[in-house]
Amino acid sequence: MPRFAANLSMLFAERPFLERFGAAAQAGFLGVECWFPYDYAPAVVAELLDAHGLQQVLINAPAGDWAGGERGIACHPDRIAEFRAGIDIAIEYARAVDCRQINVLAGVAPVGVDAEVWRATLVDNLRHAARRFNEHGLTLLLEPINTRDIPGYAVKGSDQALAILDALDAPNARLQYDCFHMQVMEGNLAQTVERHLARIGHIQIADNPGRGAPGSGEINYTFLFDWLDGIGYTGWVSAEYLPGPDTPASLAWLAPYLEDPSS
């Protein structure tokens, strides 16, 4: 059975952020992830993780002005110092909450910058991040994101992301495979995951269209979860979807995978 984690930036959003840890544990999740935890002291988060028996499986590195619409700055030649300062912040936070994986968002390709220039910046920045992460036993993740929802995003497919990771030549750099984004961009989820299994560090799930709960759209997640078991995927599968106003009501998909406490 896959190990399921809850993305607390999307799930249980009907509660204050610090209450979402307990809600995730109560729902049966074993791990949690979130986009940007930096508004909360790591000691507070670590205490909640310990109290609820949860593992922090992923955080994102700082990604620019998220509220202002930015979606990462790793490919921006004029933001290199800011990006690298953010990497140090992410390392400090990850170590404090015992999180072993950090997702680095490439960002939207900067307007007016030649593609070769922003790609070289992205590779250099990711190489720097991977080197710094490796000093602390951390894994860098690179996530391709669909350009329907984020037009112009710099890394938009699994093959492109893997080519960038090849250029890093970093053993601790792996692919973050978001099934929702890749269903939009390329489909063929099961065979793509199998083909790149050795290079995938993390999987995220949501259905399409609408980015809703598994089972709400066209992706056959019952098949896909069995497929992941069959091919030997041992990483985390994180629920990163729009649950509506009542997250527990969206969790019917999870019930078959929870242990029966009476057994």
Per-10-residue mean pLDDT of the chain, 263 residues long, equals 95 98 97 97 98 98 95 98 98 98 98 97 98 98 98 98 96 98 98 98 98 98 97 98 97 88 37
CATH number for the domain formed by residue range(s) 3-255: 3.20.20.150
Rounded to two decimals, what is the model's pTM?
0.96
Active site residues: 143, 240
Residue keyed to tokens 């090849």? 166
Contact 177, 200 (CB under 8 A): yes
Q: What is the pLDDT of residue 1?
A: 81
Q: What is the DSSP letter of 106?
A: B
- Tell which phi-psi region holds residue 54, choosing left (phi > 0), alpha (psi between -120 and 50) or beta: beta
Domain limits, the chain? 3-255
Which residue in 160, 159, 179 sits closest to 75, CA to CA? Answer: 160
